[in-house]
Structure 1
């Protein structure tokens, strides 16, 4: 009995068709059929009923399927364990990041990981923070850098990278630019420019306003901090940003702290519990890069 025979057996059982199974395992249909026949000879029983159009399992086939899957899973686990020890991690990693948010340490971490583990194919996508969390949760993404409020998203592990206060970005001469912190009531007395729903910063701002019974007038929305700063600089509304987002625009914007916005805006790494070795390795690179 050979490992590839078990692989072909599981493929036919799941596809219920020899042709589709052959396409799945990338060999000819005759090759799959021959290996299944050899497996049946070794086991002393037919595994498929070939009289019908679909390849259906016999009683013996049903009995063997669970064990074949377990054997293949055990081999994968052994390969992964050896790879973790030797550093020969392979596979694919899908990483997500907040739309419009250039985070240089994340790029440094990805580059260092790519150098150390060239056998892993990396992909990077942008999305709003709630979409990133959903992607990690459903397995579409392996790791994401997303904006969050207090508390980890349900079902996920997190590592906070940045924790910052909210600021009100306004041009010189604006009533809120007179110096010193401002409060949410003063901010929401003006039109507001902020990120769209689903962004971590927007979630924090909405929660802080709701806690004080305030209903801001959202004049404009933009996914990128620089776009919010540009709109605020043109007097189109008070820009809601974090401290670091506003720091690069000090030449044209004042950014007083919103003192009663009690919840900080967090930027955090998100991943599923019990991560695979490749994710653990990337997390370690992120720890070094962000430190």
Structure 2
């Protein structure tokens, strides 16, 4: 039994798909399948039920999974202990970011980290905030930039990058544009264009509506702020955006802060293990890169140990 076999086993178990697992561990699908078969022969039991499109764990596989994760964590701890003594950082780091992110400070942090620690292989993964959060929890992702409605997702650490109120954005001739004050009730009287479920912005909006027992009419959903703004500008609904998202379209949309929604949409870096030296180093580079970011000037980034924007894009 080899550590790489356990790594492949955990990857298939978490991805529930051999192809995605192979992409994650950077080898061919046939290579993953062969190693899993070898592991099953050594253990004398099948670990996966391959009869359906989605690969699922057998009873034996479920029994083995937590022990496999423990073994991989232990092996990683050995490497980190040696690195702490020698001052070397190496290995692999998976960084997640919300789809379509264009925050240059994040890219600057990655570049600075790569220059300082060329021995670390960096993988960049784009996905929605909910999936990235789950990836951090399972260990598939080391550090992620997500949109969120809470300061720190349950059980994780977080560094808040941006905190902004929700706004309603409409064309200048829209009835809401004539109001100086817009409430959630005013907003939900009109069709809504917003982010899909699973995004930080949508979580804030849905939570506010639920608190007031309002049932908004979601006319359209889009994963990019530019698309939402364009749909609203064409009269297809009231856009629900963050303050900075709406400001990017002030030439054709009038933005009104939703007066009775005080919960902000947050953009945050999240991570699980504070003991990973590569994560600590990347966080240090990130703090420096974001220090002069316009949305953070004049405010201190919040560090939260969790219990439980793009342009800027909160997703």
**Shorter-normalised TM range:** 0.7 to 0.9
Which residue is equivalent to 2:104? 104
- TM-score, reference length from structure 1: 0.73
State whether residues 101 and 224 of structure 1, in contact with CA within 8 Å, keep that contact through their aligned partners in structure 2: no
Tell me, what secondary structure is at the counterpart of 1:89? coil
Q: Distance in 2 between matches of 1:85 and 1:163?
A: 38
Which residue is equivalent to 1:42? none
String of CA shifts for 1:19-51, please: whole Å, max 9, x gaps.
xxxxxxxxxxxxxxxxxxxxxxxxxxxxxxxxx
Moved more, 267-276 or 246-255: 267-276
State whether residues 87 and 117 of structure 1, in contact with CA within 8 Å, keep that contact through their aligned partners in structure 2: no
Which residue is equivalent to 2:261? 261
Tell me, what secondary structure is at the counterpart of 2:126? strand
Which residue is equivalent to 1:4? none
Tell me, what secondary structure is at the counterpart of 1:125? strand
Q: Distance in 2 between matches of 1:191 and 1:277?
A: 48
State whether residues 148 and 266 of structure 2, in contact with CA within 8 Å, keep that contact through their aligned partners in structure 1: yes
State whether residues 151 and 266 of structure 2, in contact with CA within 8 Å, keep that contact through their aligned partners in structure 1: no
Which residue is equivalent to 2:198? 198
Q: Distance in 2 between matches of 1:251 and 1:163?
A: 23
Moved over 6 A (4+): none
Shift of 1:101: 3.1
Shift of 1:84: 4.0
Q: Distance in 1 between matches of 2:114 and 2:243?
A: 31
State whether residues 192 and 218 of structure 1, in contact with CA within 8 Å, keep that contact through their aligned partners in structure 2: yes
**Paired positions, count:** 231
Tell me, what secondary structure is at the counterpart of 1:189? coil
Tell me, what secondary structure is at the counterpart of 1:256? strand
Which residue is equivalent to 2:217? 217
Shift of 1:55: 6.3
Unaligned runs of 5+ in 2: 7-40, 44-69, 292-315
Which residue is equivalent to 1:160? 160
Cα RMSD, aligned residues only: 2.6
Shift of 1:179: 5.0
Which residue is equivalent to 2:298? none
Which residue is equivalent to 2:242? 242
Shift of 1:196: 0.5
The higher radius of gyration belongs to 1
State whether residues 96 and 126 of structure 1, in contact with CA within 8 Å, keep that contact through their aligned partners in structure 2: yes
- TM-score, reference length from structure 2: 0.68
String of CA shifts for 1:80-124, please: whole Å, max 9, x gaps.
345346553111111111122322211111111111111111111
Q: Distance in 1 between matches of 2:214 and 2:2?
A: 58
> Are the structure 2 counterparts of residues 198 and 79 from structure 1 closer, same or farther at C-alpha, using a change threshold of 3 Å?
closer
